[in-house]
Amino acid sequence: MKRGILLFVCMGLLQLSFGQKDLESKLKQIYWNNAGPEFRQMKAPAKWKNESAVILATRVDYLGTFAGVRKSFTENIVIHYRVLLQDKASVREYSELTFNQNKIKTNLIGKTNAYSFVAVKIVKPDGTEKIMDLSSAVKTDVGSEKDSKMAVPDLDQGDIIDFFIAIQSKETDVPNITESDLLEEKYPVVNKQIRFIVPRQINFSSKSFRGAPEFIKTKQGKNNIYTLIDTMRGRAPEVLWDFPHRTSAEVRYKISNGKTFVHQDEALVAREALQNFDYNNQDIRYIEDYVNQNAGESKSQDEVVKEIYYLLRSPIFQKAYFDIDQGSPLDNHYVSERFFFLLNKYLKKYNIEHEIMIVPSRNYGPFCDLVNMSSCDLLLKIGKDSGYYLSRPTPFSIPGEFPYLFEGMEAVLIGYPKSNTAARFNEEIPVSGKESNLTHSRYNLSFDSSDLSKILVKREVSAKGNNKAYHQYLIFTNHDYLREYDKPQYQNFSYSEIRNLVNEYSYLREKSEQQAVQENYERERRVEDDIESELDTKISEYKNLIITSVGMWEDMPDTKYSDEFVIDNGTKKAGKNFILEVGKFIEKQTELSDEQIQRDRDIHMGFARTFNSEVIIIIPEGFSVEGIDNLNINVSNIYGGFISSARVEQNKLLIKTSKYYTQNHCTSADWPHMVSFLNAAVQFSKSKILLKKL
């Protein structure tokens, strides 16, 4: 019996190796020997002669076929590239390849039913071709996405590397495929083709944006063929404040089984998804227990809901409902959709008016432009017009805050109780103004009387709205966070499961004290580095960090802290006088290069915002200040501005600046307006004053 099995295995291996050879030669025949003329191209257009590499041709082929009596669906995907390497940098890039070793799966009678295959050849400038033997590849290191790597032999500047990846897989049904493909790549592309060959029963729909060509439909037997050809596409540029999926050529497409009805409008898909909230069977006993123990009758519904939000944000309940480790609350955790189901369940049960929304993100655009909902997220609104939003909790989010990428987007919604909200289907998410996202920094500067190159700095920082997060993660530690939740209302619960988690929290809270020294040390280094980067100077003696409010509770929603440090070489000496680069104290500015000043793509930023600064300088005894006039600047327009003023009061020089952006988006035509105030801020940041010896 055992011998029989062994023989069967050996025969299987033989079949596999023969099968692989046949398949290899068949695929190479199709994709290399029978490839179209674009894959025989040897030269790049002259205008791209200085590019590092040029993609002479690239092609994605998708062939979907039903097998048997539609019992399964076979997908064949081939991705093919032909790249001309024009300099040593691109030769270096392609000289070491990583890939998954070729794999082939056969059924019991030896017929291939799935494979993954890679083939690479080098084409020399004289047209001679060398096919790489991938069997000499070596294993990649642990952690690599691919299993094999290989040094490409005999690769030179001027060579073409031509490779394809062919994958066949068998699915039980027609998979839903949706893609958003930017046509620009790292290198310019001479010819790009994306082609889908699918049975007529299968739905294919596509959308082309910003100059991208359309898919052309043709018929071949029982199949439809959808082909997109794009030619002479420049490489993807690096652009400041850019959402590439809103500014560069792109095709989005969707494939689905013709048997099932699929909405072409993602807003309808979203609306359908929201119906899931009608069948919500979440267990909210732990939440109810909390409310029963902590919310007396004096608390309004709003207050109760907000308390539930803080509860679900707490390390204890993050563990209870979302299985997030309590010990490191500031790590990048993801709170699942369950959050919305839990709240919805509670709100429905207690008849609290609310709406569940699905909101598309600004960086992929509105529903009408989407082919899937991967860029969308859920949002909850309590109450109606004057209500407030609840977003997926992050460590510092508070009721009323939501991700800035939702701003201005039209959401679809479902309201409860349905009788009150049946007429509403959509809502435009509000856009925050420049005053809502505000950072204020106050620098008090004084000089060491024995050494005027040394500046003693006391700093106060406050931030609100979307400007907060940067500071919150800068100044707060896991230890601080656990301490924030050390409150009586999070201690008493009726359920033993939660009591166990409270014990775990208490244990971790206590243990976190043990490493406060180290966390504080790391925080100080972090803040020091941040100051040195923002002020472009070295500092020393960082001390006295006082966090007045981290901004994670609604009653103290802003982040506020203060600290002190010394700038050792803060002034430039000129004879008996000193020059102070006072402009540095408005912190690092966006300084545009010549290339960035010319722009043909719209500007997409996170949010409107304001940065206010106050710099108070105690003028050292025996010195006067010169150069104040240069500190008064006012450049403003509808997109933003930079305004500064300076005056001397007694022995102090008082400087105030405000830089603000009024919009989160403007068109490329409006870019010069932005450039004007950005440059004004840069000009100020280079301002100097003279401390002149009297």
Partner 1 sequence: MYTGRSLHLFVEKKLFFFLWLFPSVLFGQQINELVTLYQHKYKENEAVIIHSESKFEFDLAENKVVVREDRNQKLLSLRYNTFINEVEFYDSNSDIKEFSCESSLNQKSFNSDKVCGNYTNSEYFFDDNKFCTHKLKLQEAGEVWKTHVDKIYNDSKYLTSVYFHDKYPIVTKKIILKIPSDIDVDIREFNFEKFAVEKHVTEQGKFRIVEYSISNISAMENVRLGRSVQFIYPHLLILVKSFQSEGERVNILSNLHDLYGWYRSLTSQLSVQPEVFAPLVNSILKGKVTDDEKISSIFYWVQDNIRYIAFENGLAGFKPDDAHSVFQKKYGDCKGMANLTKEMLRYAGYDARLSWIGTKQIRYDYSIPSLAVDNHMICTVILEGKKYFLDATEKYLPLGYNAERIQGRQILIEDGDNYILEKIPEVSGENELELRQVKLSMKSDMLVGSYKYILQGEKKRNFLCGYHFSSGDTKDRLVKHCLIDENKNMKVNNVRLPDMNHRVGAFEINTDLECKGAISSFNNELYIDIDISKDFKSWIVDEERQSDIDFGEKIHKVLEVELELKDGDSVIFLPEKLQIDHKEFSVHAVYVKDLNRILYKKRISIENGIISKDSFIQWNEAIRKLTQHYDSQIILKR
Binding site residues, partner 1, CB under 8 A:
50-53, 87-92, 95-96, 138-142, 149, 151, 153-156, 325, 327-328, 453, 508, 511-512, 514-515, 517-518, 521-522, 537-538, 569, 571-575, 577, 579, 591, 626-627, 686, 688, 690, 692
In this structure, are residues 444 and 421 in contact, taking their beta carbons and an 8 Å threshold?
A: no
Tokens encoding 439: 């950072």
Residue whose CB is less far from partner 1, 326 or 462: 326
User: Residue 567: beta bridge partners?
Assistant: 455
| Helix ranges restricted to H, 200-358 | 244-247, 266-274, 285-294, 301-313, 315-322, 338-349
Residue whose CB is less far from partner 1, 144 or 651: 144
Question: Coil, helix or strand for 575?
Answer: coil
Tokens 């429905």 locate to 348
DSSP string, 471-529: HHHHH--HHHHHHHT--GGGT--SSHHHHHHHHHHHHHHHHHHHTHHHHHHHHHHHHHH
In this structure, what are the phi and psi dihedrals at residue 247, rounded to the nearest 5 degrees? -125, -15
Residue whose CB is less far from partner 1, 38 or 87: 87
Which helix (H) or strand (E) segment holds residue 665: the answer is strand 665-666
Tokens 């401390």 locate to 691
Q: Which of 412, 415, 314 is nearest to 368 (CA)?
A: 412
Residue whose CB is less far from partner 1, 251 or 617: 617
Question: Cβ 468 to partner 1, closest distance in Å?
Answer: 26
Residue whose CB is less far from partner 1, 500 or 548: 500
Question: Cβ 360 to partner 1, closest distance in Å?
Answer: 34
Question: Cβ 441 to partner 1, closest distance in Å?
Answer: 22
- List the 96-99 sheet strands across, edge first: 96-99, 148-151, 138-139
Residue whose CB is less far from partner 1, 324 or 438: 324
Residue whose CB is less far from partner 1, 492 or 503: 503
In this structure, are residues 640 and 674 in contact, taking their beta carbons and an 8 Å threshold?
A: yes
In this structure, are residues 165 and 79 in contact, taking their beta carbons and an 8 Å threshold?
A: yes
The span from the CA of 495 to the CA of 87, in Å, is: 68
Residue whose CB is less far from partner 1, 40 or 124: 124
* Amino acid letter, 202: I
In this structure, are residues 513 and 476 in contact, taking their beta carbons and an 8 Å threshold?
A: no
Question: Cβ 443 to partner 1, closest distance in Å?
Answer: 20
Tokens encoding 68: 């048997």
Question: Cβ 150 to partner 1, closest distance in Å?
Answer: 9
Question: Cβ 653 to partner 1, closest distance in Å?
Answer: 14
The span from the CA of 355 to the CA of 381, in Å, is: 5
Which helix (H) or strand (E) segment holds residue 22: the answer is helix 2-28
Instruction: Determine the distance from the C-alpha atom of residue 38 to the mean position of all C-alpha atoms in its chain, rounded to a whole number.
Output: 35
Residue whose CB is less far from partner 1, 272 or 536: 536
Residue whose CB is less far from partner 1, 153 or 430: 153
Question: Cβ 395 to partner 1, closest distance in Å?
Answer: 16
Question: Cβ 508 to partner 1, closest distance in Å?
Answer: 6
Which helix (H) or strand (E) segment holds residue 519: the answer is helix 516-535
Question: Cβ 676 to partner 1, closest distance in Å?
Answer: 17
Residue whose CB is less far from partner 1, 284 or 567: 567
Residue whose CB is less far from partner 1, 70 or 511: 511
Question: Coil, helix or strand for 93?
Answer: helix
The CA distances from residue 332 to 329, 478, 493, in Å, are 8, 12, 27
Question: Cβ 548 to partner 1, closest distance in Å?
Answer: 26
The span from the CA of 261 to the CA of 30, in Å, is: 35
Question: Cβ 617 to partner 1, closest distance in Å?
Answer: 16
Question: Cβ 153 to partner 1, closest distance in Å?
Answer: 4
Q: Determine how β-strand 250-256 pairs with β-strand 203-209.
A: antiparallel
Question: Cβ 28 to partner 1, closest distance in Å?
Answer: 22
- On the 0-12 / 13-18 / 19+ scale of CB atoms within 10 A, 8 is exposed
Tokens encoding 422: 């049946």
Residue whose CB is less far from partner 1, 378 or 689: 689
Residue whose CB is less far from partner 1, 53 or 378: 53
Residue whose CB is less far from partner 1, 264 or 590: 590
Calculated CA dihedral for residues 469, 474, 475, 479, nearest 10 degrees? 100
Which helix (H) or strand (E) segment holds residue 355: the answer is strand 354-360
In this structure, are residues 542 and 527 in contact, taking their beta carbons and an 8 Å threshold?
A: yes
Tokens encoding 574: 């000129």
Question: DSSP label at 556?
Answer: B
Residue whose CB is less far from partner 1, 20 or 95: 95
The span from the CA of 647 to the CA of 653, in Å, is: 6
Cis before 37? omega within 30? no
Question: Cβ 144 to partner 1, closest distance in Å?
Answer: 9
Tokens encoding 603: 């500007």
Question: Cβ 591 to partner 1, closest distance in Å?
Answer: 5
The span from the CA of 333 to the CA of 321, in Å, is: 13
Question: Cβ 149 to partner 1, closest distance in Å?
Answer: 7
Question: Coil, helix or strand for 15?
Answer: helix
